[in-house]
Structure formats: C-alpha cells, structure tokens
Amino acid sequence: MSAEALTRPVAGARLGIRLWTREVVTLAVLLLATLVFSLPTIWLVLTSFKPETEYASYPIRVLPSALHSENYVLAVTIFPYLKFFMNSVILAGSFTILTVITSAAAGFGFSRHAGVPGRHALFALVLATMMVPGLVTLVPQFMLFSYLGLTNSYWPWILWGLSASPFHIFLFRQFFASIPKDLEDAAEVDGCGKLRIFWQIFMPNSLPAVAASAIFCFTWVWGDWLYPKLFLSDQITTLSVRLATSYVDPIGNPLYTVTMAAVVLYVLPMVIVFFLAQKYIIQGVVTTGLKG
C-alpha cells in the first residue's frame, strides 16, 4: 500500500508533464500553421497601405514606410465605388429576402406535412438538384433569359429568389424538424391555419436558420462573379465584377495597391457579418454538411 502511495503522485506528475508537453507542442504547431495560413491576408492588408512605388520595389519591402491611407480614398474616388457597392447590396438584398421566404416555406412544407402523396419523391428531387453541376442549368438558363430579353436586368435574380434554392430548403427542413410537434398542435387547436403557424410560430422560432440562410444567400450574390459577368452589362453589374478589372493606370496596368484597398473595403462587410453571426453560420454549415 505504501509503495502504491509513493508511486502514485510521481506517476501523476509524469503524466501531467506529458500532457503539458503535448499541449505546448500542439500549440506550437497551431501557431505556425496559423501564421503560414494568415500570410496571404497579412500581405493583402500590408499592401493596401503602401504607395505603388513601395509595392513595386526590389528587394521587396514587407512593411509600408507609414500607414498610407490614400489608397482607400483613391479606391472609392477614381471609380464610382459606391454605385457598384449599392448595386451589389440591392441585388444581394432582394435575392436574399425572396430566397429565404420561399425556401423556408418549402422547407416547412417538406417537414410538416406527414403522409402527403409525392412528398418524399419531391424531396428526393430537391436533393438531386443539389448534385447537378451549376453550369449545366446556367447555360440553358442564359439562352432562355436572353431569348426573353431578361438579361441585363435584375430579373433573373428575382426569379431565382422566387423559386427558392434546394440548399436552403434543405437547411430549413433540417431546422424545422427539431421544432416540437406540440407547438404546432397547440396552435392548430387554437384555430391557427398552416400559413399562420409557419409565419407566426415557425419563422420567429427559427432565427438561427433564418440568419444562416440569409447570410449564405447574401454572401453568395455578394461574392459571385460568374452570374453577373454573364447576365449584366458593366454599368449595372456588381462590385465583384468591377473589382476584377477596374483599377488601372492610363496605360492599362493594374494599380495593385489601390486594388488591394478596394478589396479590403469589399471584404470587410462580410468579415463583420461573420463575426456578428458566427454562431448561426457555423450551425448552418453543420446542419447542411453533416447529414447527407
């Protein structure tokens, strides 16, 4: 017994040291990985504060000589930044509102109507359309919309918004499945119709899903380059399309540092939204990404 009492704390201490070393090693690995991982972002921010001459100096300067904020002023003045920023906001905003409502409605339909004929087959269809390569539908949609004269307008986004999105239907269905049936039954006994149950009980109780869905919708349009590039003219297109080409000197060479300032301004709203709604975003990613 005495032998045991003697060895125990020693073993415990040894285990403690081992755990401690392990933690330190893990932390060191993580710090190194984070540094390497963050280098591109650090370089973006540093570049945005350099004058063009410092960017193009050899050997390269890592830090700007001073925090030159003039790139940020140039970024919003030498090109109608605000106009295209607003184009993005309007397009992304209207698409988001419509998609969230129609997708939530469809998600409610799929999760709350047990035993309706055709329900499972239609839901399988929703899942199947998530597998179809985007361009397979985009190219014929492009032909259709140009034939109808709807290109160079925001109509395609309105129509896409009105017709819900499989991914978001899936997200809402998964979330609604976790809302207790009792809540719905109680409302029904009180004489609530399905529409009121959906709008006044399910939607207000699904803030995380609504937030996640809205953020995914908004960031998709905000960040999309392909669709506005194909459907919209350079005058009414979104910031992302113009950002790819707009900052050039009179000869046509890219103004790298001004572009980087514009990129920072373009990314910043998304990063802020992410920090504010991190919890909901992660929950949304997990809900849709974990169960096939």
Residues 223-262 binding other proteins (CB under 8 A) are 223-226, 229-230, 240-241, 243-245, 256, 259-260
Q: Which of 74, 75, 100, 126 binds other proteins (CB under 8 A)?
A: 126
Q: Would you give the binding string for other proteins spanning residues 4-43, x where CB under 8 A is met? A: -------------------x--xx-xx--xx--xxxxx-x
Counting contacts by CB under 8 A, is residue 105 touching other proteins?
yes
In the complex with other proteins, the residue whose CB is nearer, 53 or 77, is 53
Q: Which stretch binds other proteins (CB under 8 A): 1-9, 10-18, 74-82, 111-119?
A: 111-119
In the complex with other proteins, the residue whose CB is nearer, 51 or 223, is 223
Q: How far is CA 30 from CA 20, 40, 197, 219, 229, in A?
A: 15, 17, 47, 28, 39
- Work out how close the CB of 191 gets to other proteins at its nearest, in angstroms, rounded to a whole number: 14
CA distance 177 to 287: 11
In the complex with other proteins, the residue whose CB is nearer, 73 or 282, is 282
Counting contacts by CB under 8 A, is residue 94 touching other proteins?
no
Q: Scan residues 163-182 and list those touching other proteins (CB under 8 A).
A: 163-164, 169
CA distance 89 to 96: 10
Q: Scan residues 48-87 and list those touching other proteins (CB under 8 A).
A: 55-60, 62
- Backbone phi and psi for residue 50, each to the nearest 5 degrees, phi listed first: -100, 150
Q: Which of 83, 113, 183, 249 binds other proteins (CB under 8 A)?
A: 113
